Structure 1
Amino acid sequence: MTKFIASLLSLGFMATAAIAASEIDTNGDGMMTIDEVQAVFPDVSAEAFAEADTNDDGALDDAEMVAGQEQGLLPVAADG
Protein backbone atom coordinates (compact mmCIF):
# COMPACT_ATOMS: atom_id res chain seq x y z
CA MET A 1 0.00 0.00 0.00
CA THR A 2 2.83 2.38 0.86
CA LYS A 3 4.49 1.72 -2.50
CA PHE A 4 1.18 2.47 -4.25
CA ILE A 5 0.82 5.79 -2.45
CA ALA A 6 4.44 6.68 -3.18
CA SER A 7 3.86 5.85 -6.85
CA LEU A 8 0.81 8.10 -6.99
CA LEU A 9 2.70 10.95 -5.35
CA SER A 10 5.56 10.49 -7.79
CA LEU A 11 3.18 10.59 -10.76
CA GLY A 12 1.63 13.78 -9.41
CA PHE A 13 5.06 15.36 -9.10
CA MET A 14 5.95 14.36 -12.66
CA ALA A 15 2.70 15.84 -13.96
CA THR A 16 3.46 19.10 -12.17
CA ALA A 17 6.97 19.10 -13.60
CA ALA A 18 5.66 18.43 -17.11
CA ILE A 19 3.26 21.35 -16.85
CA ALA A 20 6.07 23.62 -15.72
CA ALA A 21 8.29 22.35 -18.54
CA SER A 22 5.64 23.09 -21.16
CA GLU A 23 5.33 26.64 -19.81
CA ILE A 24 9.12 27.12 -19.95
CA ASP A 25 9.68 25.72 -23.46
CA THR A 26 8.50 28.84 -25.27
CA ASN A 27 9.57 27.75 -28.76
CA GLY A 28 8.00 24.29 -28.40
CA ASP A 29 11.08 22.32 -29.45
CA GLY A 30 10.93 20.00 -26.43
CA MET A 31 14.10 21.42 -24.94
CA MET A 32 14.58 24.18 -22.37
CA THR A 33 17.55 26.49 -22.79
CA ILE A 34 19.04 28.47 -19.95
CA ASP A 35 17.43 31.61 -21.38
CA GLU A 36 13.99 29.96 -21.35
CA VAL A 37 14.49 28.62 -17.82
CA GLN A 38 15.78 31.93 -16.46
CA ALA A 39 12.90 33.83 -18.08
CA VAL A 40 10.55 31.90 -15.77
CA PHE A 41 12.94 31.22 -12.87
CA PRO A 42 15.41 34.15 -12.75
CA ASP A 43 17.15 32.75 -9.66
CA VAL A 44 18.38 29.61 -11.44
CA SER A 45 22.14 29.92 -11.75
CA ALA A 46 24.17 28.82 -14.74
CA GLU A 47 25.87 26.30 -12.45
CA ALA A 48 22.56 24.72 -11.34
CA PHE A 49 21.39 24.59 -14.96
CA ALA A 50 24.65 22.94 -16.05
CA GLU A 51 24.39 20.38 -13.25
CA ALA A 52 20.83 19.51 -14.31
CA ASP A 53 22.00 19.22 -17.96
CA THR A 54 23.39 15.72 -17.47
CA ASN A 55 24.10 15.06 -21.17
CA ASP A 56 25.89 18.42 -21.57
CA ASP A 57 23.97 19.43 -24.70
CA GLY A 58 23.22 22.93 -23.43
CA ALA A 59 19.49 22.34 -22.95
CA LEU A 60 17.20 20.41 -20.62
CA ASP A 61 14.78 17.76 -21.84
CA ASP A 62 11.78 16.74 -19.73
CA ALA A 63 13.70 13.99 -17.89
CA GLU A 64 16.55 16.35 -17.00
CA MET A 65 14.05 18.97 -15.84
CA VAL A 66 12.28 16.48 -13.56
CA ALA A 67 15.58 15.15 -12.21
CA GLY A 68 16.83 18.69 -11.60
CA GLN A 69 13.65 19.52 -9.73
CA GLU A 70 13.88 16.33 -7.65
CA GLN A 71 17.49 17.22 -6.75
CA GLY A 72 16.48 20.73 -5.74
CA LEU A 73 18.52 22.34 -8.51
CA LEU A 74 15.45 23.80 -10.23
CA PRO A 75 12.14 25.11 -8.87
CA VAL A 76 9.06 22.93 -9.32
CA ALA A 77 6.57 25.60 -10.38
CA ALA A 78 6.76 29.25 -11.38
CA ASP A 79 3.95 30.21 -9.03
CA GLY A 80 4.83 27.97 -6.14
Structure 2
Amino acid sequence: MPIHFDDRTARFEGACTVEEAIPLAEWLCAAEKPRLDLGGCTSLHTALLQVLLAAGKPIAVPPQGAFLRDWVMPALGDAHPA
Protein backbone atom coordinates (compact mmCIF):
# COMPACT_ATOMS: atom_id res chain seq x y z
CA MET A 1 0.00 0.00 0.00
CA PRO A 2 1.33 3.43 -0.91
CA ILE A 3 -0.25 4.94 2.23
CA HIS A 4 0.72 3.47 5.60
CA PHE A 5 -1.69 4.22 8.43
CA ASP A 6 -1.08 4.12 12.16
CA ASP A 7 -3.07 5.64 15.02
CA ARG A 8 -2.25 9.27 14.21
CA THR A 9 -0.15 9.36 11.03
CA ALA A 10 -0.76 8.54 7.39
CA ARG A 11 2.54 8.22 5.50
CA PHE A 12 2.30 8.58 1.72
CA GLU A 13 5.05 6.78 -0.21
CA GLY A 14 5.70 6.51 -3.92
CA ALA A 15 2.82 6.71 -6.38
CA CYS A 16 -0.40 7.02 -4.38
CA THR A 17 -3.30 5.69 -6.45
CA VAL A 18 -7.07 5.96 -6.62
CA GLU A 19 -7.42 2.70 -4.64
CA GLU A 20 -6.23 4.58 -1.56
CA ALA A 21 -9.03 7.19 -1.61
CA ILE A 22 -11.64 5.30 0.42
CA PRO A 23 -9.19 3.96 3.03
CA LEU A 24 -7.78 7.48 3.42
CA ALA A 25 -11.24 9.02 3.83
CA GLU A 26 -12.21 6.37 6.39
CA TRP A 27 -8.97 6.82 8.31
CA LEU A 28 -9.35 10.62 8.35
CA CYS A 29 -12.84 10.25 9.81
CA ALA A 30 -11.66 7.80 12.49
CA ALA A 31 -8.29 9.29 13.48
CA GLU A 32 -8.06 11.75 16.31
CA LYS A 33 -5.88 14.73 15.29
CA PRO A 34 -4.59 13.05 12.11
CA ARG A 35 -1.07 13.79 10.92
CA LEU A 36 -0.39 13.67 7.17
CA ASP A 37 3.14 12.90 5.98
CA LEU A 38 3.51 13.37 2.22
CA GLY A 39 7.31 13.40 2.39
CA GLY A 40 7.73 10.19 0.41
CA CYS A 41 4.92 10.80 -2.08
CA THR A 42 6.03 10.95 -5.72
CA SER A 43 2.58 11.23 -7.32
CA LEU A 44 -0.90 11.77 -5.96
CA HIS A 45 -4.08 10.67 -7.73
CA THR A 46 -6.66 13.44 -8.01
CA ALA A 47 -9.13 11.37 -5.95
CA LEU A 48 -6.67 11.54 -3.04
CA LEU A 49 -6.25 15.27 -3.59
CA GLN A 50 -10.03 15.66 -3.38
CA VAL A 51 -10.14 13.69 -0.10
CA LEU A 52 -7.37 15.86 1.35
CA LEU A 53 -9.08 19.06 0.20
CA ALA A 54 -12.43 17.96 1.67
CA ALA A 55 -10.83 16.93 4.97
CA GLY A 56 -9.09 20.28 5.39
CA LYS A 57 -6.41 18.77 7.64
CA PRO A 58 -2.93 20.31 7.75
CA ILE A 59 -0.03 18.59 6.04
CA ALA A 60 2.69 17.87 8.60
CA VAL A 61 5.40 16.86 6.11
CA PRO A 62 5.22 18.26 2.55
CA PRO A 63 6.18 16.26 -0.53
CA GLN A 64 9.74 16.67 -1.82
CA GLY A 65 8.97 16.55 -5.55
CA ALA A 66 8.83 19.91 -7.31
CA PHE A 67 5.41 19.43 -8.93
CA LEU A 68 3.63 18.34 -5.77
CA ARG A 69 5.47 20.90 -3.66
CA ASP A 70 4.96 23.83 -6.04
CA TRP A 71 1.51 23.10 -7.49
CA VAL A 72 -0.39 20.81 -5.14
CA MET A 73 0.71 22.08 -1.73
CA PRO A 74 -0.57 25.63 -2.31
CA ALA A 75 -4.03 24.16 -2.97
CA LEU A 76 -3.80 22.22 0.30
CA GLY A 77 -2.78 25.29 2.24
CA ASP A 78 0.97 24.56 2.41
CA ALA A 79 2.60 22.57 5.19
CA HIS A 80 1.62 23.31 8.75
CA PRO A 81 2.79 20.97 11.51
CA ALA A 82 -0.13 19.14 13.05
Q: Give TM-score scaled by structure 2 length.
A: 0.29
Larger radius of gyration: 1
Bigger strand fraction: 2
The answer to which structure, 1 or 2, has the higher relative contact order (CA under 8 A, 6+ apart) is: 1
Bigger helix fraction: 1
